[in-house]
């Protein structure tokens, strides 16, 4: 039903400078996988095959990562290192990768619009790979299930956030239609805590109808002179059924230094190879 996922990855990642001066933020590793691979793996596990990555200058490492490395594979094969060979192969297995450039970083909405020709006339998913979600069922899978079940035109991943944090997010106004499912009646980008219609924040996973492209084309630059995705989704309301799904999972904002470190610690502690060693280190050095 949803076959394509768009990964906007053309931003400058300024919050990680100088690390992101010459390498993409999306390639920062969470334990041993780049952030964007976590997103791609989530899409694959949700039944999606076509990965459309919106890139820009200095993002070549992303294309190289999702390409076959003949020399590396030949070397690992020669050494008989089958375990690493399969780790390397899994990166590109079961998916096709497509790229489009966003020549100017004119905002998330503009990045999604750049994928219009590659998406065509079908509903699609958008994944912001710096929102890392550790979930028992991949969040996109949860959203695709809700999309089918509730006859929605668009699905937004939402999460309750503390009232004092609402001004960092797009916040929905909605009517609860089932457990964890809200029919979105309006949304506000980064409201002041007193002005927020709820404490339900939009997180970086979306299922969108192809009509969003027409809306994006007509969307004027909003906050920060950028074409905002939330502004375009807002104008879908009324024409399409837009629902918000409170997903089951723990989300980390790996687009900030603190969130990125939290995600790394949480994922490392769960990692079968290094979890025990890290726990022992934290205890020994009284870091917990
Ligand atoms: P962010 O604002 O979190 O990413 O955008 P950024 O701009 O790279 O980071 P900072 O704020 O400078 O630290 C969310 C996602 O949207 C993409 C980014 O690459 C990121 O994955 N994006 C944003 C684009 O692809 N194009 C844009 O014009 C803006």
Report the distance separating Cα 203 and Cα 194, nearest Å: 21
CB burial of 115-139 (b: ≥16 within 10 Å; e: otherwise) equals: bbebbeeebbbbbbbbbbbebeebb
Residue 149: predicted pLDDT: 95
**pLDDT at res. 232:** 94
| Structural domain boundaries enclosing 266 | 256-288
Q: How far is CA 126 from the centre of its chain?
A: 7
pLDDT of residue 187: 94
Distance 48 CA to ligand 1 centre (A): 23
Asked whether residue 218 falls in the same domain as residue 77, the answer is yes
CA of 128 from ligand 1 middle (Å) equals 9
Q: Indicate whether 247 and 276 sit together in one domain.
A: no
Determine if ligand 1 sits within 6 Å of the CB of residue 170.
Answer: no
Same domain, 260 and 167: no
User: How many whole angstroms from its chain centre is CA 255?
Assistant: 10
Determine the pLDDT at residue 158: 98
User: Alpha-carbon distance 62 to 20, whole Å?
Assistant: 13
Q: Which residues of 175-211 are buried (b: 16+ CB within 10 A; e: fewer)?
A: eeeeeebbbbeebbbebeeeebebbbbbbbbbbbbeb
Q: How many domains does the chain have?
A: 2
Q: How many CA atoms lie within 13 A of 30 on its CB side?
A: 28
For tokens 């104008």, the residue is: 235
Instruction: Write down the pLDDT at residue 50.
Output: 98
What is the pLDDT at residue 183? 97
User: Which pLDDT tens digit goes with each residue over 171-197?
Assistant: 999 999 999 999 999 999 889 989 999
Tokens 């009646």 map to which residue?
185
What's the CATH code of the domain at 50? 3.90.550.10
Judge contact between 248 and 125, C-beta under 8 A: no
Token digits of residue 84: 């690493």
Residue 150 sits in the same domain as residue 93: yes
pLDDT for 47: 97
- Helices (DSSP H) in the chain: which residue ranges? 35-45, 60-65, 70-78, 82-92, 108-113, 116-119, 139-149, 212-218, 229-234, 257-270, 275-284
Q: How far is the CA of 185 from the centre of ligand 1 (A)?
A: 26
Walking along the chain (288 residues) 10 residues at a time, the average pLDDT comes out as 96 94 95 97 97 93 95 95 94 95 92 98 97 97 96 96 94 96 94 93 98 94 85 93 97 97 97 96 90
Q: Is the CB of 102 under 6 A from ligand 1?
A: yes
Q: What is the pTM of this model?
A: 0.96
Same domain, 105 and 193: yes
Which among 17, 14, 15, 64 has a CA at the least distance from the CA of 36?
64
* Ligand 1 binding pocket mutation candidate from 7, 255, 256 (most atoms within 8 A of CB): 255
pLDDT tens readout for residues 93-149: 999 999 999 988 899 999 999 999 999 999 999 999 999 999 999 999 999 999 999
Together in a domain, 110 and 47: yes
Residue closest by Cα to atom 21 of ligand 1: 9
Cis peptide before 38 (omega within 30 of 0): no
């Amino acid at each position: 039903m949803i076959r394509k996922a768009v990964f906007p990855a053309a931003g400058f990642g300024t919050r990680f400078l100088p690390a992101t001066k010459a390498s993409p933020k999306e390639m920062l590793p969470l334990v041993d996988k780049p952030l964007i691979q976590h997103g791609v793996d989530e899409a694959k596990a949700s039944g999606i095959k076509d990965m459309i990555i919106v890139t820009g200058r200095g993002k070549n490492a992303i294309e190289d990562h999702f390409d076959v490395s003949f020399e590396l594979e030949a070397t690992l094969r020669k050494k008989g290192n089958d375990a690493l060979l399969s780790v390397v192969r899994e990166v590109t297995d079961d998916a096709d990768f497509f790229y489009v450039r966003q020549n100017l970083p004119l905002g998330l909405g503009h990045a999604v619009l750049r994928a219009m020709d590659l998406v065509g006339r079908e509903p699609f998913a958008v994944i912001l790979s710096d929102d890392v979600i550790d979930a028992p069922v991949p969040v996109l899978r949860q959203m695709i299930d809700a999309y089918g079940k509730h006859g929605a035109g668009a699905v937004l991943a939402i999460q309750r956030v503390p009232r004092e944090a609402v001004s960092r997010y797009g916040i929905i106004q909605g009517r609860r239609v089932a457990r964890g499912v809200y029919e979105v009646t309006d949304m506000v980008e980064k409201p002041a805590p007193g002005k927020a219609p709820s404490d339900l924040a939009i997180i970086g996973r979306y299922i969108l109808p192809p009509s969003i492209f027409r809306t994006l084309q007509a969307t004027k630059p909003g906050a920060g002179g950028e074409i905002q995705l939330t502004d375009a989704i807002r104008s879908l309301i009324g024409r399409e059924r837009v629902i918000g799904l409170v997903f089951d999972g723990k989300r980390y904002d790996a687009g900030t230094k603190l969130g990125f470190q939290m995600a790394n610690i949480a994922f490392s502690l769960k990692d079968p190879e290094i979890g025990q060693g890290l726990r022992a280190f934290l205890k020994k050095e009284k870091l917990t």
